[in-house]
Chains A and B, each alone.
Chain A
């Protein structure tokens, strides 16, 4: 199916009107030797064949509705209200584009204004943009902003910041000849005294993640004092769900807050598309990258919304723009806006509370097992925690055995932190039932004792089966 509507007759009429004998003639401006490509591609599939083909591929993946998953580490399995899908898939949202003509794009523009307001509310900062590609690139753009703003070329980042975010930071800073300095961690949080020792007036920004990659809470106010004393900006990378309960970055003095809004109503999708958010103090407003929607009035004095402060952007300023970003991550920002509206003021607080309760229950139960321990147990945490495995049990072999019991275990940490090669990062959201947590604990117990696969645990799988069995 090619979705081309022309009949043979229409095509001929059009060619005649243009004044050429064949469609081929329209391509004659292209050098002939370039027009000789014959592609080796399969023949066209019908709609049913297409559906079957992709069903075949998706059927070979074990997904989070089939398996009882405890993976987090930047991508989270949260409850997605059904109201989101129906609204966000409306053709008027789905098939429009960047609102260059505001009179014909008020829906998209108002959503962005609401999204910006919600991000400001969550982060406690003054101005938010209309979204970024993802949390990692939002963080990199924040570092670039700091380098430009302070005219300094060193950025300090804690080793407790997501390793892939740090990798993206390094890639973005390299061409600008700016240096990334990593600050070591101590017992699951940033070594604040090391930060204090190493910072100087050449540092553009200090970056912390709250909760950090290990799920632990950082002493954010200490960061703020240290950074600001040297004239550096404080950049906080935050989990938006946690902000239902945790201090907003604006309260502890962050100049820029970024993060990924995937947890707000967007599916994990094997890592993307997700959606970054970006908020700043008012003084940095004109240096913010990306799209901004603003309120104004129309000819008749009615409130109306428009893309604004565009003098910062590439299509006006070209090589002098604050960023090369052309669009935002609109459809996912829309989903986040619907999600936060549906959840509401109390809902977000309660949801964050559920994450806290369930993850603490899971941590306590796992660490009550012989040989399992939580190396960072002194630190408060939100919905993720590190577990050290009993001697002789490696994370990979544990995960293999859990998978056979219908469980996707935590993230083995050795790949990112060689010193934690015997540890895993577990995540427990509100989406986990007590049965599912108990099934994990039971399996860990059996596997660590070298017992064969038990029948009970293997039955407790994904949410779908759980729900059906509930009284």
Chain B
């Protein structure tokens, strides 16, 4: 069994507040080497806090042991196969950590004048250039903090573009029923009305339904390609034409760019806006959920609306330029997630042109291989060849009383993180599997073997699977209790 080898030694860890002992200290602060003034003189009593914040009182070893043990309760790419669909959990090279962590990057202040930081500005300028080439779009903003932030910015730009043209009536955004939840949420945050278009029987955008949904009120369509079923929207050129002929724009959610890297450019498809997820496709570590980075690329006619500031080269010097009167403004303080951007830049440089092709090739090969091995054992609702990920349905297993959630939990017992489950919403009991290109044939085979074993367990002993997980630090959680009696912070009175 794989699981035991991966089991953490510690099963549970007390809260840092429970480890605390009054008066215990950890770090030593720099000395006060200036003449002291009285606190009263500097800070009148109405500004002062009456009681100190109850921060933990612990030693340095307490801190090290606590957080080390906590880390051991996690599954991660470094320790486990993590086939989380749509999240591209590929290996995160260690050289990127070293490169990005240099003090010549990490210890720069955003308000240093450009003359002091030419290396940094050149880096950002050239990185933008690489993204343009890889995606076939003429300009990128590096400001968005994450994919969802890029979407929000994209929708703001769509709005600004139509308003500039005097088309205030364009209030609808068309979104496929297989889209990520962030798509409708981002559109709604910009005041758009979301029109959902159903997918056809092949899991693709239904062109007839799309044509019917078109009207002079449509501002844009948001599309993911390959879509969340892992299928390439082969009619993408027609889709873009339908939108453009009606005066609308096409926004592409670039979450699945890993499948196209180096071989297909979204700009060539005709999309007007695209965000990338540097933490997915370009392997910046996911960090347990951030920081990400979601650069947004746009077509020529949308350039005036990108956020400020933007880098330009002026007399041999890189500088920030704020002079774009049609810009939607700023969506974040400063310039973007620089630390994440440097890692992505290092990745593209270490791949080169051929490496990018190898990445998308292996990502698609791995997904097809795994899909082939599993298709006899789980239902495959869409049978067309997949790209970098595929979606299974647990509906056959559900007839035995075992849900996709149970299957996910059982996988944890065998030392694998679970695929994305119950998404996309259009697949009953969905299991969305994205192996990524950095996993070996042996790992895929081991995973397939376990998935098949679980399918067999469901037939012979469904209760075993329904009771999973057994080998994790904690077992099935009471999520209803968590939501009904929210306990969102430590209660010191219980200490």
Q: A92-B79, A411-B111 are in contact. Are A332 and B291 (CB under 8 A)?
A: yes
User: CB distance A408 to B109 under 8 Å?
Assistant: yes
| List of A residues within 8 angstroms of B63 by Cβ | 83, 87, 338, 341-342
A-B contact pairs, 26 of them (CB 8 A): A1-B93, A10-B440, A26-B361, A39-B133, A41-B352, A54-B102, A63-B107, A64-B109, A77-B109, A83-B27, A96-B286, A97-B84, A97-B89, A106-B73, A108-B289, A127-B489, A164-B333, A171-B330, A270-B105, A293-B488, A295-B482, A308-B483, A318-B181, A338-B67, A344-B25, A411-B111
Q: A95-B92, A96-B75, A302-B12 are in contact. Are A296 and B33 (CB under 8 A)?
A: no
How many A residues, CB 8 Å from partner? Answer: 205
Given A2-B362, A26-B365, 7 new contacts (CB under 8 A): A1-B350, A14-B365, A273-B290, A302-B12, A360-B37, A434-B34, A437-B34
Q: Is B60 an interface residue (CB 8 A)?
A: yes
User: CB distance A127 to B369 under 8 Å?
Assistant: no
Q: How far is the CB of B333 from chain A (nearest CB, A)?
A: 4
B148, B155, B350: most-surrounded residue (chain A CB, <10 A)? B350
Q: Is B106 an interface residue (CB 8 A)?
A: yes
User: CB distance A122 to B53 under 8 Å?
Assistant: yes
**A18 touches which of B57, B346, B372, B408 (Cβ 8 Å):** B372
Q: How far is the CB of A384 from chain B (nearest CB, A)?
A: 12
Shortest beta-carbon contacts, A-B, top 8? A58-B104, A271-B334, A91-B78, A60-B119, A44-B352, A271-B110, A331-B287, A273-B291
| List of B residues within 8 angstroms of A44 by Cβ | 349-352, 354-355
User: CB distance A93 to B108 under 8 Å?
Assistant: no
| List of B residues within 8 angstroms of A188 by Cβ | none
B232-265, CB under 8 A of A: which get 1 and which 0?
Answer: 1010110000000000000000000000001111
Interface-located stretch among B210-218, B395-403, B472-480: B472-480
Q: Is B209 an interface residue (CB 8 A)?
A: no
User: CB distance A304 to B474 under 8 Å?
Assistant: yes
Chain B interface: which size bin?
A: 35 or more
Q: Is B50 an interface residue (CB 8 A)?
A: yes
| List of A residues within 8 angstroms of B362 by Cβ | 2, 4, 6
User: CB distance A408 to B112 under 8 Å?
Assistant: yes
Interface-located stretch among A66-74, A189-197, A386-394, A453-461: A66-74
User: CB distance B122 to A57 under 8 Å?
Assistant: yes
Assembled-state Cα–Cα distance A295/B43 (Å): 38
Q: Is B82 an interface residue (CB 8 A)?
A: yes
Assembled-state Cα–Cα distance A257/B87 (Å): 31
Interface-located stretch among A173-181, A369-377, A442-450: A173-181
Which residues of B from 55 to 88 have beta carbons under 8 Å from A?
55-58, 60, 63-64, 66-68, 70-80, 82, 84, 87
Q: Is A324 an interface residue (CB 8 A)?
A: yes
User: CB distance B136 to A37 under 8 Å?
Assistant: yes
Assembled-state Cα–Cα distance A356/B32 (Å): 10
| List of B residues within 8 angstroms of A302 by Cβ | 12, 474-475
Assembled-state Cα–Cα distance A71/B181 (Å): 40
Assembled-state Cα–Cα distance A357/B364 (Å): 60
Q: A270-B105, A318-B184 are in contact. Are A96 and B474 (CB under 8 A)?
A: no
**A175 touches which of B60, B185, B189, B232 (Cβ 8 Å):** B189
User: CB distance A42 to B349 under 8 Å?
Assistant: yes
Q: Is A246 an interface residue (CB 8 A)?
A: yes
**B333 touches which of A118, A134, A297, A328 (Cβ 8 Å):** A134
Q: Is A465 an interface residue (CB 8 A)?
A: no
Assembled-state Cα–Cα distance A299/B104 (Å): 50
User: CB distance B145 to A134 under 8 Å?
Assistant: yes
**B181 touches which of A35, A175, A316 (Cβ 8 Å):** A316
User: CB distance A270 to B110 under 8 Å?
Assistant: yes
User: CB distance A3 to B91 under 8 Å?
Assistant: yes
User: CB distance B264 to A37 under 8 Å?
Assistant: yes
Q: A41-B352, A79-B30, A308-B486 are in contact. Are A408 and B116 (CB under 8 A)?
A: yes
Q: Is A212 an interface residue (CB 8 A)?
A: no
Assembled-state Cα–Cα distance A311/B289 (Å): 19
User: CB distance A323 to B82 under 8 Å?
Assistant: no
Q: How far is the CB of B247 from chain A (nearest CB, A)?
A: 19
Closest to B35 in A: A361
User: CB distance A106 to B107 under 8 Å?
Assistant: no
**A243 touches which of B49, B112, B285 (Cβ 8 Å):** B49
| List of A residues within 8 angstroms of B123 by Cβ | 57
Q: Is A103 an interface residue (CB 8 A)?
A: yes
Assembled-state Cα–Cα distance A243/B285 (Å): 31
Q: Is A137 an interface residue (CB 8 A)?
A: yes
User: CB distance A55 to B102 under 8 Å?
Assistant: yes
User: CB distance A247 to B48 under 8 Å?
Assistant: yes
User: CB distance B288 to A98 under 8 Å?
Assistant: yes
Q: Is A198 an interface residue (CB 8 A)?
A: no
Assembled-state Cα–Cα distance A298/B368 (Å): 37
Q: Is B323 an interface residue (CB 8 A)?
A: no
Q: Is B221 an interface residue (CB 8 A)?
A: no
| List of B residues within 8 angstroms of A59 by Cβ | 104, 119
B350-386, CB under 8 A of A: which get 1 and which 0?
Answer: 1111111011011011101100110000000000110
User: CB distance A26 to B476 under 8 Å?
Assistant: no
Assembled-state Cα–Cα distance A162/B74 (Å): 38
Assembled-state Cα–Cα distance A319/B193 (Å): 9
Q: A93-B288, A318-B184, A408-B109 are in contact. Are A326 and B262 (CB under 8 A)?
A: no
Q: Is B165 an interface residue (CB 8 A)?
A: no
User: CB distance B148 to A326 under 8 Å?
Assistant: yes
A5, A59, A246, A297: most-surrounded residue (chain B CB, <10 A)? A5
| List of B residues within 8 angstroms of A171 by Cβ | 156, 307, 328-331
Q: Is B13 an interface residue (CB 8 A)?
A: yes
Q: How far is the CB of A413 from chain B (nearest CB, A)?
A: 11
User: CB distance B75 to A341 under 8 Å?
Assistant: no
User: CB distance A39 to B356 under 8 Å?
Assistant: yes
User: CB distance B16 to A114 under 8 Å?
Assistant: yes
User: CB distance B490 to A30 under 8 Å?
Assistant: no
Interface-located stretch among A200-208, A228-236, A345-353: A345-353
Q: Is A469 an interface residue (CB 8 A)?
A: no
Q: Is B146 an interface residue (CB 8 A)?
A: yes
User: CB distance B359 to A345 under 8 Å?
Assistant: no
User: CB distance A272 to B417 under 8 Å?
Assistant: no
A269-311, CB under 8 A of B: which get 1 and which 0?
Answer: 1111111000000000100000111111111101110101111
| List of A residues within 8 angstroms of B488 by Cβ | 113, 116, 127-128, 285, 292-295, 308
Assembled-state Cα–Cα distance A437/B93 (Å): 41
Assembled-state Cα–Cα distance A287/B240 (Å): 37
User: CB distance A347 to B37 under 8 Å?
Assistant: no
A1-40, CB under 8 A of B: which get 1 and which 0?
Answer: 1111110001101110111100100111111001101111
Q: Is B461 an interface residue (CB 8 A)?
A: no
Q: How far is the CB of B129 from chain A (nearest CB, A)?
A: 10
Q: Is B95 an interface residue (CB 8 A)?
A: yes
Assembled-state Cα–Cα distance A342/B28 (Å): 10
Q: A30-B234, A53-B349, A433-B33 are in contact. Are A61 and B489 (CB under 8 A)?
A: no
| List of A residues within 8 angstroms of B418 by Cβ | 100-101, 104
Q: A103-B469, A272-B145, A431-B30 are in contact. Are A2 and B48 (CB under 8 A)?
A: no
Q: Is A187 an interface residue (CB 8 A)?
A: no
B142-181, CB under 8 A of A: which get 1 and which 0?
Answer: 0001111101100110010000000000000000000011
Q: Is A414 an interface residue (CB 8 A)?
A: no
**A103 touches which of B68, B412, B439 (Cβ 8 Å):** B412
A310-323, CB under 8 A of B: which get 1 and which 0?
Answer: 11011111111101
User: CB distance B53 to A247 under 8 Å?
Assistant: no
Q: How far is the CB of B61 from chain A (nearest CB, A)?
A: 10
| List of A residues within 8 angstroms of B353 by Cβ | 38-43
Closest to B22 in A: A345
User: CB distance B291 to A329 under 8 Å?
Assistant: yes
Interface-located stretch among B295-303, B337-345, B450-458: B337-345
User: CB distance A356 to B438 under 8 Å?
Assistant: no
User: CB distance B188 to A137 under 8 Å?
Assistant: no
User: CB distance A41 to B286 under 8 Å?
Assistant: no
Assembled-state Cα–Cα distance A93/B26 (Å): 22
User: CB distance B408 to A110 under 8 Å?
Assistant: no
